[in-house]
Structure 1
């Protein structure tokens, strides 16, 4: 495989605006991620999947790439259904971002939209997952207090911290 054959990442080079040097970065599609809470808000649904960047399995919140200029909320709906089996109608939207996060502007163009949703009840129907080719993941409910001990995934930590901060503001 040649570098130009990459499916999701494209190496880009641009000239620095004030210095005579070239800057390299990866053009990467934008994405969404969702902290999915149970109806009592004491557990979150994490997915476990192999991640080549850590050479092993990682627990993290469900996430996915925004495809074909899709609206981020449509991606949320699609990715939640594909990775967890839940329909978005089973959830109340707790948090919707006003703008995306820029994850690592020194090397990638990717923007990430973080959502927080809550199951309407514990009796919501779960359908069969619709995983993309190459995806192999399992879903597990974990208590919010245990999640920091189980993962070192940044988006998961951020979403959990965001939720805790929002909850403190509301109380």
Structure 2
């Protein structure tokens, strides 16, 4: 089993009994469970695009649009895991640009954490001219797509209106770009 369901009972400062039920990840190999990769292809015309993956997610009962992502293996750094997952899921080789600290997407439900790695993809590299994802990821039905950064918020809203689930991290970046554009920041 990869997770444990726990119930914690404690007392708050009102001297009232409080209990929580949560899922605890038990497969963590180090400090970080997982990574997601925000990979950009900068176009000469300025219409930059972000690489996303689409897949069916049984817990949601629907297809999702997400950033490439995966678990950090034993003795692997988040950067190494991200570049490996990018290659496996999309076939692309990326150049590391930077990373976030640990992020907790659902801290009221689970202790799972992740790090976002920012990468740039050079389409002129020979290994990026005809990218092929891993056989395992093809079997899982993962497909890739490039979405324009311009109006990313609206593009994701269209997916959502058609019944797709949108990964929170991807939507957060899209909201940030939208706010920047709308507020002239």
The answer to whether TM tops 0.5 is yes
Gaps of 5+ in 2: 161-165
Q: Cα deviations across residues 142-165 of structure 1 (Å, max 9, x unaligned)?
A: 112244233532111124456778
Highest relative contact order (Cα 8 Å, sep 6+), 1 or 2? 1
What is the deviation of 1:39?
A: 2.2
Q: 1:59 aligns with which of 32, 50, 65?
A: 65
Find the residue that maps to 1:32 and give its secondary structure: strand
Q: Which has the larger radius of gyration?
A: 2
Find the residue that maps to 2:79 and give its secondary structure: helix
The answer on whether the counterparts of 2:6 and 2:24 sit within 8 Å (CA) in structure 1 is yes
Q: Cα 1:50–1:140, aligned 2, differ >3 Å: closer, same or farther? A: same
Aligned 1:80-91 pairs, distance under 5 A:
80-88=86-94, 91=95
What is the deviation of 1:70?
A: 2.8
RMSD: 3.0
What is the deviation of 1:12?
A: 2.7
The answer on whether the counterparts of 1:92 and 1:119 sit within 8 Å (CA) in structure 2 is no
Aligned residues: 158
1:116 aligns with 2:118: yes
